[in-house]
Chains A and B, each alone.
Chain A
Amino acid sequence: MSDRPVHELIKELSESLVQLSDKVLQNFYNALTAVKNQDEQQAREIRLVDDEIDLTEVRLEERCLAFLALQQPVARDLRTIVTIMKINDDLERIGDLAVHIIERMPEINSEMLDKFDFETMGHHAGEMTARSIEAFVNKDRILADRVEAMDEEIDAMHSAVFKKVARQMKDSEADIDQLIAALSISRYIERMADHATRIAGEVIYLVTGEIARHSESSYEKLIQSLKD
Protein backbone atom coordinates (compact mmCIF):
# COMPACT_ATOMS: atom_id res chain seq x y z
CA MET A 1 0.00 0.00 0.00
CA SER A 2 1.55 3.29 -1.02
CA ASP A 3 1.65 6.22 1.34
CA ARG A 4 -0.81 9.04 0.81
CA PRO A 5 0.45 12.44 -0.39
CA VAL A 6 0.26 13.66 3.21
CA HIS A 7 3.32 11.58 4.00
CA GLU A 8 5.07 13.04 0.99
CA LEU A 9 4.34 16.49 2.41
CA ILE A 10 5.89 15.53 5.73
CA LYS A 11 8.93 14.24 3.87
CA GLU A 12 9.26 17.55 2.01
CA LEU A 13 9.04 19.53 5.24
CA SER A 14 11.66 17.26 6.83
CA GLU A 15 13.96 17.77 3.86
CA SER A 16 13.58 21.55 4.10
CA LEU A 17 14.53 21.33 7.77
CA VAL A 18 17.66 19.33 6.97
CA GLN A 19 18.65 21.88 4.29
CA LEU A 20 18.16 24.67 6.83
CA SER A 21 20.34 22.84 9.34
CA ASP A 22 23.14 22.52 6.76
CA LYS A 23 23.02 26.25 6.13
CA VAL A 24 22.94 27.10 9.83
CA LEU A 25 25.85 24.82 10.65
CA GLN A 26 27.97 26.15 7.79
CA ASN A 27 27.29 29.73 8.89
CA PHE A 28 28.25 28.87 12.44
CA TYR A 29 31.56 27.31 11.37
CA ASN A 30 32.19 30.31 9.11
CA ALA A 31 31.60 32.65 12.04
CA LEU A 32 34.29 30.88 14.07
CA THR A 33 36.69 31.10 11.13
CA ALA A 34 35.85 34.77 10.51
CA VAL A 35 36.61 35.67 14.12
CA LYS A 36 39.82 33.67 14.07
CA ASN A 37 40.99 35.39 10.87
CA GLN A 38 39.44 38.76 11.77
CA ASP A 39 37.82 38.61 8.32
CA GLU A 40 35.40 41.55 7.91
CA GLN A 41 34.25 40.44 4.47
CA GLN A 42 33.28 36.99 5.72
CA ALA A 43 31.51 38.60 8.69
CA ARG A 44 29.31 40.61 6.30
CA GLU A 45 28.47 37.46 4.36
CA ILE A 46 27.52 35.71 7.59
CA ARG A 47 25.00 38.45 8.36
CA LEU A 48 23.48 38.09 4.89
CA VAL A 49 23.21 34.33 5.23
CA ASP A 50 21.57 34.81 8.63
CA ASP A 51 18.92 36.98 6.98
CA GLU A 52 18.28 34.12 4.57
CA ILE A 53 18.09 31.69 7.48
CA ASP A 54 15.51 33.90 9.23
CA LEU A 55 13.39 34.02 6.09
CA THR A 56 13.66 30.26 5.55
CA GLU A 57 12.66 29.66 9.17
CA VAL A 58 9.52 31.79 8.76
CA ARG A 59 8.61 30.11 5.46
CA LEU A 60 9.04 26.64 6.96
CA GLU A 61 6.90 27.57 9.96
CA GLU A 62 4.19 28.89 7.62
CA ARG A 63 4.22 25.62 5.69
CA CYS A 64 3.96 23.64 8.94
CA LEU A 65 1.03 25.79 10.13
CA ALA A 66 -0.74 25.31 6.81
CA PHE A 67 -0.14 21.58 7.09
CA LEU A 68 -1.61 21.52 10.62
CA ALA A 69 -4.66 23.47 9.52
CA LEU A 70 -5.32 21.58 6.31
CA GLN A 71 -4.28 18.03 7.14
CA GLN A 72 -5.09 17.93 10.86
CA PRO A 73 -2.46 15.28 11.51
CA VAL A 74 -2.53 12.95 14.49
CA ALA A 75 -0.21 10.48 16.19
CA ARG A 76 3.27 10.20 14.60
CA ASP A 77 2.37 12.67 11.84
CA LEU A 78 1.38 15.24 14.44
CA ARG A 79 4.50 14.61 16.51
CA THR A 80 6.67 14.94 13.39
CA ILE A 81 5.22 18.32 12.45
CA VAL A 82 5.46 19.64 16.00
CA THR A 83 9.05 18.40 16.16
CA ILE A 84 9.92 20.08 12.84
CA MET A 85 8.49 23.36 14.13
CA LYS A 86 10.48 23.16 17.34
CA ILE A 87 13.74 22.18 15.64
CA ASN A 88 13.15 24.98 13.11
CA ASP A 89 13.04 27.41 16.03
CA ASP A 90 16.23 25.99 17.56
CA LEU A 91 18.07 26.23 14.24
CA GLU A 92 17.09 29.87 13.81
CA ARG A 93 18.47 30.61 17.27
CA ILE A 94 21.72 28.82 16.45
CA GLY A 95 21.83 31.09 13.38
CA ASP A 96 21.57 34.12 15.67
CA LEU A 97 24.44 32.80 17.79
CA ALA A 98 26.71 32.82 14.72
CA VAL A 99 25.92 36.52 14.30
CA HIS A 100 26.53 37.14 18.02
CA ILE A 101 29.97 35.58 17.61
CA ILE A 102 30.98 37.91 14.77
CA GLU A 103 29.61 40.85 16.74
CA ARG A 104 32.36 40.16 19.29
CA MET A 105 35.00 40.36 16.52
CA PRO A 106 35.94 44.06 17.05
CA GLU A 107 36.28 43.42 20.79
CA ILE A 108 38.84 40.63 20.62
CA ASN A 109 42.21 40.18 18.92
CA SER A 110 44.06 37.13 17.64
CA GLU A 111 46.40 37.09 20.61
CA MET A 112 43.50 36.72 23.02
CA LEU A 113 41.78 34.17 20.78
CA ASP A 114 44.92 32.02 20.74
CA LYS A 115 44.60 31.59 24.50
CA PHE A 116 41.38 29.60 24.01
CA ASP A 117 40.51 26.59 21.89
CA PHE A 118 37.18 27.77 20.48
CA GLU A 119 37.77 25.74 17.35
CA THR A 120 37.57 22.42 19.20
CA MET A 121 34.67 23.63 21.30
CA GLY A 122 32.79 24.91 18.25
CA HIS A 123 33.49 21.72 16.34
CA HIS A 124 32.10 19.68 19.23
CA ALA A 125 28.92 21.79 19.40
CA GLY A 126 28.60 21.57 15.61
CA GLU A 127 28.94 17.80 15.78
CA MET A 128 26.18 17.70 18.39
CA THR A 129 23.91 19.71 16.11
CA ALA A 130 24.68 17.56 13.07
CA ARG A 131 24.13 14.36 15.05
CA SER A 132 20.84 15.66 16.53
CA ILE A 133 19.56 16.32 12.99
CA GLU A 134 20.75 12.88 11.93
CA ALA A 135 18.80 11.43 14.88
CA PHE A 136 15.73 13.31 13.63
CA VAL A 137 16.09 12.00 10.08
CA ASN A 138 16.57 8.40 11.21
CA LYS A 139 14.22 8.70 14.22
CA ASP A 140 17.16 7.35 16.19
CA ARG A 141 16.51 7.44 19.91
CA ILE A 142 19.96 6.04 20.81
CA LEU A 143 21.76 8.73 18.84
CA ALA A 144 19.56 11.39 20.46
CA ASP A 145 20.54 10.06 23.88
CA ARG A 146 24.19 10.22 22.84
CA VAL A 147 23.84 13.87 21.79
CA GLU A 148 22.38 14.71 25.18
CA ALA A 149 25.35 13.02 26.84
CA MET A 150 27.80 15.03 24.67
CA ASP A 151 26.49 18.25 26.22
CA GLU A 152 28.38 17.53 29.43
CA GLU A 153 31.69 17.84 27.60
CA ILE A 154 30.72 21.27 26.25
CA ASP A 155 29.63 22.34 29.72
CA ALA A 156 33.04 21.28 31.04
CA MET A 157 34.81 23.22 28.28
CA HIS A 158 32.75 26.33 29.00
CA SER A 159 33.39 25.97 32.70
CA ALA A 160 37.16 25.78 32.00
CA VAL A 161 36.98 28.98 29.89
CA PHE A 162 35.03 30.68 32.68
CA LYS A 163 37.64 29.73 35.27
CA LYS A 164 40.50 30.83 33.02
CA VAL A 165 38.86 34.21 32.32
CA ALA A 166 38.10 34.71 36.03
CA ARG A 167 41.71 33.92 36.89
CA GLN A 168 43.12 36.29 34.28
CA MET A 169 40.79 39.09 35.29
CA LYS A 170 42.49 39.16 38.67
CA ASP A 171 45.67 40.26 36.91
CA SER A 172 45.98 44.06 37.12
CA GLU A 173 47.18 44.22 33.51
CA ALA A 174 44.30 42.16 32.18
CA ASP A 175 42.30 43.45 29.21
CA ILE A 176 38.85 43.06 30.75
CA ASP A 177 36.93 43.87 27.55
CA GLN A 178 38.74 41.21 25.59
CA LEU A 179 38.30 38.65 28.34
CA ILE A 180 34.57 39.37 28.44
CA ALA A 181 34.40 38.96 24.65
CA ALA A 182 36.17 35.59 24.95
CA LEU A 183 33.79 34.49 27.67
CA SER A 184 30.86 35.58 25.50
CA ILE A 185 32.06 33.50 22.56
CA SER A 186 32.42 30.50 24.83
CA ARG A 187 28.91 31.14 26.11
CA TYR A 188 27.49 31.31 22.55
CA ILE A 189 29.06 27.97 21.67
CA GLU A 190 27.74 26.48 24.87
CA ARG A 191 24.27 27.78 24.02
CA MET A 192 24.50 26.23 20.58
CA ALA A 193 25.17 22.88 22.27
CA ASP A 194 22.11 23.52 24.47
CA HIS A 195 20.00 23.92 21.33
CA ALA A 196 21.45 20.68 19.94
CA THR A 197 20.49 19.01 23.22
CA ARG A 198 16.99 20.43 22.90
CA ILE A 199 16.74 19.07 19.37
CA ALA A 200 17.80 15.66 20.69
CA GLY A 201 15.06 15.91 23.34
CA GLU A 202 12.56 16.78 20.63
CA VAL A 203 13.64 13.68 18.68
CA ILE A 204 13.06 11.58 21.79
CA TYR A 205 9.53 13.01 21.94
CA LEU A 206 9.04 12.22 18.27
CA VAL A 207 10.09 8.61 18.75
CA THR A 208 8.52 7.84 22.12
CA GLY A 209 5.72 10.37 22.51
CA GLU A 210 7.14 11.21 25.93
CA ILE A 211 8.31 14.71 26.80
CA ALA A 212 11.68 14.05 28.43
CA ARG A 213 12.45 17.70 29.22
CA HIS A 214 12.43 18.86 32.82
CA SER A 215 12.33 15.36 34.20
CA GLU A 216 13.45 15.00 37.82
CA SER A 217 17.05 14.24 36.85
CA SER A 218 17.26 17.26 34.54
CA TYR A 219 16.10 19.52 37.39
CA GLU A 220 18.79 18.02 39.59
CA LYS A 221 21.33 18.61 36.83
CA LEU A 222 20.19 22.21 36.47
CA ILE A 223 20.47 22.87 40.22
CA GLN A 224 23.88 21.21 40.26
CA SER A 225 25.08 23.36 37.33
CA LEU A 226 23.88 26.50 39.12
CA LYS A 227 25.85 25.45 42.19
CA ASP A 228 28.94 24.95 40.02
Chain B
Amino acid sequence: MTADSRETSQKEQVKTANREIYLPSERKNISGGGTPHVVAKDFSIYYGEFEAVKKVNADILSRYVTAIIGPSGCGKSTFLRAINRMNDLIPSCHTTGALRFDGEDIYGKFTDEVLLRKKIGMVFQKPNPFPKSIFDNIAYGPRLHGLNDRKQLAEIVERSLRKAALWDEVSDRLDKNALGLSGGQQQRLCVARALAVEPEILLLDEPTSALDPKATAKIEDLIQELRGSYTIMIVTHNMQQASRVSDYTMFFYEGVLVEYARTAQLFTNPKDRMTEDYITGRFS
Protein backbone atom coordinates (compact mmCIF):
# COMPACT_ATOMS: atom_id res chain seq x y z
CA MET B 1 0.00 0.00 0.00
CA THR B 2 1.41 3.41 -0.90
CA ALA B 3 1.65 6.23 1.60
CA ASP B 4 -1.07 8.13 -0.21
CA SER B 5 -3.55 5.30 -0.41
CA ARG B 6 -2.94 4.39 3.21
CA GLU B 7 -3.61 7.98 4.25
CA THR B 8 -6.78 8.02 2.17
CA SER B 9 -8.04 4.83 3.76
CA GLN B 10 -7.30 6.26 7.21
CA LYS B 11 -9.34 9.31 6.33
CA GLU B 12 -12.18 7.10 5.19
CA GLN B 13 -12.00 5.32 8.51
CA VAL B 14 -12.22 8.66 10.30
CA LYS B 15 -15.41 9.44 8.45
CA THR B 16 -16.95 6.14 9.44
CA ALA B 17 -15.62 6.20 13.02
CA ASN B 18 -18.16 5.32 15.61
CA ARG B 19 -19.88 8.36 17.02
CA GLU B 20 -22.02 6.60 19.57
CA ILE B 21 -21.88 7.78 23.15
CA TYR B 22 -18.75 6.44 24.75
CA LEU B 23 -19.12 5.36 28.33
CA PRO B 24 -16.31 3.13 29.51
CA SER B 25 -18.01 0.08 30.96
CA GLU B 26 -15.49 -0.94 33.56
CA ARG B 27 -14.95 1.56 36.33
CA LYS B 28 -12.33 1.44 39.01
CA ASN B 29 -13.58 1.96 42.47
CA ILE B 30 -12.91 5.48 43.63
CA SER B 31 -15.02 6.55 46.56
CA GLY B 32 -17.49 9.20 45.44
CA GLY B 33 -16.15 9.11 41.89
CA GLY B 34 -17.13 7.57 38.59
CA THR B 35 -20.19 9.69 37.87
CA PRO B 36 -20.37 11.67 34.63
CA HIS B 37 -18.83 15.04 35.49
CA VAL B 38 -18.49 16.52 32.04
CA VAL B 39 -20.84 15.24 29.36
CA ALA B 40 -20.47 16.00 25.66
CA LYS B 41 -23.41 15.36 23.37
CA ASP B 42 -22.91 15.85 19.65
CA PHE B 43 -20.49 18.56 20.68
CA SER B 44 -18.67 20.29 17.83
CA ILE B 45 -16.23 23.18 17.90
CA TYR B 46 -15.68 25.39 14.88
CA TYR B 47 -13.03 27.92 13.98
CA GLY B 48 -15.05 29.89 11.47
CA GLU B 49 -16.22 27.29 8.97
CA PHE B 50 -13.69 24.69 10.03
CA GLU B 51 -15.06 21.95 12.28
CA ALA B 52 -12.07 21.31 14.59
CA VAL B 53 -13.91 18.93 16.93
CA LYS B 54 -16.62 16.80 15.35
CA LYS B 55 -19.76 15.74 17.18
CA VAL B 56 -18.09 14.32 20.25
CA ASN B 57 -20.18 12.17 22.56
CA ALA B 58 -18.48 11.27 25.81
CA ASP B 59 -18.88 11.13 29.55
CA ILE B 60 -15.85 12.26 31.56
CA LEU B 61 -15.97 10.51 34.90
CA SER B 62 -15.51 12.38 38.16
CA ARG B 63 -12.34 11.99 40.22
CA TYR B 64 -10.59 9.91 37.59
CA VAL B 65 -7.74 10.90 35.33
CA THR B 66 -8.65 11.05 31.65
CA ALA B 67 -5.87 11.47 29.11
CA ILE B 68 -6.42 12.88 25.64
CA ILE B 69 -4.00 11.77 22.95
CA GLY B 70 -3.77 12.22 19.21
CA PRO B 71 -1.55 13.76 16.56
CA SER B 72 -1.00 17.51 16.33
CA GLY B 73 -4.05 19.33 15.07
CA CYS B 74 -6.46 16.54 15.99
CA GLY B 75 -8.56 18.79 18.22
CA LYS B 76 -7.49 17.45 21.60
CA SER B 77 -6.38 20.80 23.06
CA THR B 78 -9.37 22.54 21.50
CA PHE B 79 -11.66 20.05 23.22
CA LEU B 80 -9.86 20.48 26.55
CA ARG B 81 -9.96 24.26 26.34
CA ALA B 82 -13.66 24.16 25.55
CA ILE B 83 -14.36 22.72 28.97
CA ASN B 84 -13.56 25.96 30.77
CA ARG B 85 -14.37 28.15 27.78
CA MET B 86 -10.83 29.24 27.06
CA ASN B 87 -11.75 29.17 23.37
CA ASP B 88 -14.05 32.15 23.99
CA LEU B 89 -10.91 34.26 23.55
CA ILE B 90 -10.82 33.26 19.87
CA PRO B 91 -13.45 35.39 18.08
CA SER B 92 -14.19 32.96 15.25
CA CYS B 93 -14.70 30.04 17.61
CA HIS B 94 -18.19 28.73 18.16
CA THR B 95 -19.77 25.46 19.24
CA THR B 96 -22.78 23.31 18.48
CA GLY B 97 -24.30 20.46 20.46
CA ALA B 98 -24.04 20.36 24.22
CA LEU B 99 -21.22 20.28 26.73
CA ARG B 100 -22.40 19.94 30.30
CA PHE B 101 -20.61 20.25 33.61
CA ASP B 102 -22.54 18.74 36.53
CA GLY B 103 -25.60 18.80 34.31
CA GLU B 104 -25.30 22.52 33.54
CA ASP B 105 -24.69 23.67 29.99
CA ILE B 106 -21.15 25.15 29.87
CA TYR B 107 -22.14 27.23 26.86
CA GLY B 108 -25.55 28.20 28.31
CA LYS B 109 -26.78 31.76 28.05
CA PHE B 110 -26.47 32.49 31.73
CA THR B 111 -23.27 30.61 32.47
CA ASP B 112 -20.82 32.80 34.40
CA GLU B 113 -17.44 31.90 32.88
CA VAL B 114 -15.50 33.37 35.81
CA LEU B 115 -17.33 31.05 38.19
CA LEU B 116 -16.94 28.22 35.69
CA ARG B 117 -13.16 28.73 35.58
CA LYS B 118 -13.07 28.76 39.39
CA LYS B 119 -14.56 25.27 39.34
CA ILE B 120 -12.55 24.13 36.35
CA GLY B 121 -8.90 25.09 36.75
CA MET B 122 -6.30 24.89 34.05
CA VAL B 123 -2.55 24.46 33.81
CA PHE B 124 -0.75 25.14 30.55
CA GLN B 125 2.21 23.77 28.66
CA LYS B 126 4.60 26.51 29.73
CA PRO B 127 4.65 27.44 33.42
CA ASN B 128 3.20 30.94 33.69
CA PRO B 129 3.54 32.24 37.24
CA PHE B 130 2.68 35.89 37.81
CA PRO B 131 5.73 38.12 38.43
CA LYS B 132 4.79 38.24 42.07
CA SER B 133 5.79 36.46 45.26
CA ILE B 134 5.03 32.76 45.68
CA PHE B 135 2.45 33.68 48.33
CA ASP B 136 0.72 36.23 46.10
CA ASN B 137 0.60 33.82 43.19
CA ILE B 138 -1.40 31.33 45.23
CA ALA B 139 -3.49 33.97 47.01
CA TYR B 140 -4.36 35.67 43.72
CA GLY B 141 -7.39 33.56 42.92
CA PRO B 142 -8.97 33.58 46.41
CA ARG B 143 -8.41 37.37 46.59
CA LEU B 144 -10.09 37.76 43.20
CA HIS B 145 -13.05 35.94 44.67
CA GLY B 146 -13.22 38.41 47.58
CA LEU B 147 -11.14 36.81 50.32
CA ASN B 148 -8.81 39.26 52.08
CA ASP B 149 -8.26 37.76 55.54
CA ARG B 150 -4.49 37.24 55.79
CA LYS B 151 -4.76 34.25 58.14
CA GLN B 152 -7.26 32.46 55.90
CA LEU B 153 -5.16 33.24 52.86
CA ALA B 154 -2.06 31.85 54.59
CA GLU B 155 -3.97 28.64 55.31
CA ILE B 156 -5.06 28.35 51.68
CA VAL B 157 -1.51 29.02 50.45
CA GLU B 158 -0.07 26.31 52.69
CA ARG B 159 -2.80 23.79 51.87
CA SER B 160 -2.50 24.39 48.12
CA LEU B 161 1.29 24.19 48.14
CA ARG B 162 1.14 20.99 50.17
CA LYS B 163 -1.36 19.46 47.72
CA ALA B 164 0.94 20.42 44.87
CA ALA B 165 3.90 18.80 46.69
CA LEU B 166 5.78 22.09 46.73
CA TRP B 167 5.41 23.26 50.35
CA ASP B 168 8.58 21.66 51.67
CA GLU B 169 10.63 23.28 48.94
CA VAL B 170 9.30 26.83 49.27
CA SER B 171 7.87 27.26 52.79
CA ASP B 172 10.85 29.37 53.88
CA ARG B 173 10.71 31.76 50.93
CA LEU B 174 7.04 32.48 50.28
CA ASP B 175 7.79 36.17 49.86
CA LYS B 176 10.34 35.52 47.11
CA ASN B 177 9.47 36.09 43.46
CA ALA B 178 7.94 32.99 41.86
CA LEU B 179 9.98 33.53 38.72
CA GLY B 180 13.04 32.50 40.74
CA LEU B 181 11.76 28.93 40.98
CA SER B 182 12.91 26.16 38.63
CA GLY B 183 10.69 25.23 35.67
CA GLY B 184 9.34 22.15 37.44
CA GLN B 185 8.66 24.11 40.63
CA GLN B 186 6.94 26.85 38.62
CA GLN B 187 4.66 24.27 37.03
CA ARG B 188 3.76 22.82 40.43
CA LEU B 189 3.16 26.39 41.60
CA CYS B 190 0.69 26.77 38.72
CA VAL B 191 -1.06 23.58 39.88
CA ALA B 192 -1.12 25.00 43.46
CA ARG B 193 -2.54 28.27 42.12
CA ALA B 194 -5.28 26.38 40.31
CA LEU B 195 -6.04 24.35 43.46
CA ALA B 196 -6.24 27.47 45.68
CA VAL B 197 -9.75 28.30 44.46
CA GLU B 198 -10.86 24.73 45.19
CA PRO B 199 -11.82 23.60 41.72
CA GLU B 200 -13.60 20.35 40.93
CA ILE B 201 -11.83 19.74 37.65
CA LEU B 202 -8.22 20.26 36.69
CA LEU B 203 -7.39 20.61 33.00
CA LEU B 204 -3.74 20.02 32.14
CA ASP B 205 -2.62 20.97 28.64
CA GLU B 206 0.70 19.22 28.01
CA PRO B 207 1.85 20.18 31.50
CA THR B 208 5.27 18.51 31.30
CA SER B 209 6.37 19.11 27.73
CA ALA B 210 8.69 21.94 28.85
CA LEU B 211 10.08 20.02 31.84
CA ASP B 212 13.02 17.66 32.33
CA PRO B 213 12.40 13.98 33.27
CA LYS B 214 12.78 14.58 37.02
CA ALA B 215 10.35 17.50 37.08
CA THR B 216 8.03 15.48 34.82
CA ALA B 217 8.08 12.59 37.29
CA LYS B 218 7.11 14.97 40.10
CA ILE B 219 4.15 16.31 38.11
CA GLU B 220 3.09 12.74 37.31
CA ASP B 221 3.34 11.80 40.99
CA LEU B 222 1.28 14.86 41.78
CA ILE B 223 -1.43 13.81 39.32
CA GLN B 224 -1.60 10.46 41.12
CA GLU B 225 -1.88 12.27 44.47
CA LEU B 226 -4.72 14.46 43.22
CA ARG B 227 -6.56 11.58 41.56
CA GLY B 228 -9.54 10.67 43.67
CA SER B 229 -10.01 14.26 44.85
CA TYR B 230 -10.34 16.02 41.52
CA THR B 231 -11.48 15.14 38.04
CA ILE B 232 -8.33 15.48 35.97
CA MET B 233 -8.04 15.76 32.21
CA ILE B 234 -4.63 15.81 30.63
CA VAL B 235 -3.65 16.43 27.03
CA THR B 236 -0.30 14.87 26.27
CA HIS B 237 1.89 13.98 23.32
CA ASN B 238 3.76 11.55 25.50
CA MET B 239 2.00 8.22 25.19
CA GLN B 240 3.93 6.66 28.06
CA GLN B 241 2.76 9.53 30.22
CA ALA B 242 -0.86 8.94 29.22
CA SER B 243 -0.50 5.25 30.03
CA ARG B 244 1.24 5.94 33.35
CA VAL B 245 -1.05 8.56 34.83
CA SER B 246 -4.54 8.05 33.45
CA ASP B 247 -7.49 5.77 34.15
CA TYR B 248 -9.15 6.45 30.81
CA THR B 249 -7.79 7.57 27.48
CA MET B 250 -9.44 9.37 24.59
CA PHE B 251 -7.88 9.16 21.14
CA PHE B 252 -8.73 11.98 18.76
CA TYR B 253 -7.96 12.01 15.06
CA GLU B 254 -8.94 14.86 12.74
CA GLY B 255 -11.46 16.16 15.24
CA VAL B 256 -13.18 12.81 15.75
CA LEU B 257 -13.14 10.98 19.07
CA VAL B 258 -12.06 7.66 17.57
CA GLU B 259 -11.72 5.61 20.74
CA TYR B 260 -12.37 6.18 24.41
CA ALA B 261 -11.60 3.35 26.78
CA ARG B 262 -9.89 2.31 29.97
CA THR B 263 -6.24 3.18 29.57
CA ALA B 264 -5.03 -0.37 30.17
CA GLN B 265 -7.47 -1.62 27.55
CA LEU B 266 -6.57 1.04 25.00
CA PHE B 267 -2.84 0.47 25.32
CA THR B 268 -2.97 -3.34 25.26
CA ASN B 269 -5.87 -4.09 22.98
CA PRO B 270 -7.29 -1.06 21.20
CA LYS B 271 -10.50 -1.76 19.34
CA ASP B 272 -9.91 0.65 16.51
CA ARG B 273 -7.25 0.12 13.86
CA MET B 274 -6.43 3.84 13.78
CA THR B 275 -5.78 3.90 17.52
CA GLU B 276 -3.55 0.86 17.10
CA ASP B 277 -1.60 2.49 14.27
CA TYR B 278 -1.19 5.74 16.18
CA ILE B 279 -0.03 4.34 19.51
CA THR B 280 2.36 1.89 17.87
CA GLY B 281 3.89 4.71 15.83
CA ARG B 282 2.72 3.53 12.42
CA PHE B 283 1.48 7.02 11.65
CA SER B 284 1.67 10.35 13.41
Contacts and interface: CB of A to CB of B under 8 A. Distances in A.
Interface of A: 1, 3-4, 6, 72-79, 208-210
B90 interface: no
18 contacts: A1-B1, A1-B3, A1-B7, A1-B283, A4-B281, A4-B282, A74-B239, A74-B243, A74-B279, A75-B270, A75-B275, A75-B276, A75-B280, A76-B276, A76-B280, A78-B267, A78-B268, A79-B268
From A73, A76, A208, residue with most partner B Cβ within 10 Å = A76
B25 interface: no
Given A3-B282, A6-B281, A74 B268 contact: yes
Interface in B1-26: 1, 3, 6-7
A94 B20 CA distance: 48
Contacts of A78: 267-268
Nearest to B1: A1
B72 to A, nearest CB: 17
Given A1-B3, A1-B6, A74 B283 contact: no
A74 B280 contact: yes
B240 interface: yes
Contacts of B281: 4, 6
Contacts of B270: 75
A209 B280 contact: no
B269 interface: yes
A79 B275 CA distance: 15
Nearest to A82: B268
From B1, B267, B269, residue with most partner A Cβ within 10 Å = B269
Contact residues on B (Cβ < 8 Å of other chain), bracket = 10 to 19
Interface in B224-278: 239-240, 243, 267-270, 275-276
From A3, A74, A208, A210, residue with most partner B Cβ within 10 Å = A74
Contacts of B1: 1
Contacts of B3: 1
B280 A73 contact: yes
A73 B280 CA distance: 7
Given A74-B239, A75-B276, A209 B268 contact: yes
Contacts of B268: 74-75, 78-79, 209
Nearest to A3: B282
A138 B239 CA distance: 29
A74 B282 contact: no
A86 to B, nearest CB: 15
Contacts of B243: 74
A77 B276 CA distance: 9
Given A72-B240, A75-B267, 17 more contacts: A1-B1, A1-B7, A1-B283, A3-B282, A4-B281, A4-B282, A73-B280, A74-B280, A75-B270, A75-B275, A75-B279, A78-B268, A79-B268, A208-B269, A209-B268, A209-B269, A210-B269
A139 to B, nearest CB: 13
Contacts of B283: 1
Nearest to B243: A74
Given A1-B3, A1-B6, A72-B240, A77 B280 contact: yes
B2 to A, nearest CB: 8
Given A75-B270, A209-B268, A1 B240 contact: no
A79 B276 CA distance: 12
Contacts of B282: 1, 3-4
Contacts of A73: 280
A75 B240 contact: no
Contacts of B6: 1
A148 B217 CA distance: 45
A4 B283 CA distance: 10
**10 shortest A-B CB distances, which residue pairs?**
A209-B269, A74-B267, A1-B3, A74-B279, A75-B276, A77-B280, A75-B280, A75-B270, A1-B6, A75-B279
Contacts of A208: 269
A4 B279 CA distance: 13
Nearest to A73: B280
Contacts of B239: 74
Contacts of A79: 268-269
A73 to B, nearest CB: 7
Contacts of B276: 75-76
A85 to B, nearest CB: 15
Contacts of A4: 281-282
A209 B3 CA distance: 28
Interface in B112-132: none
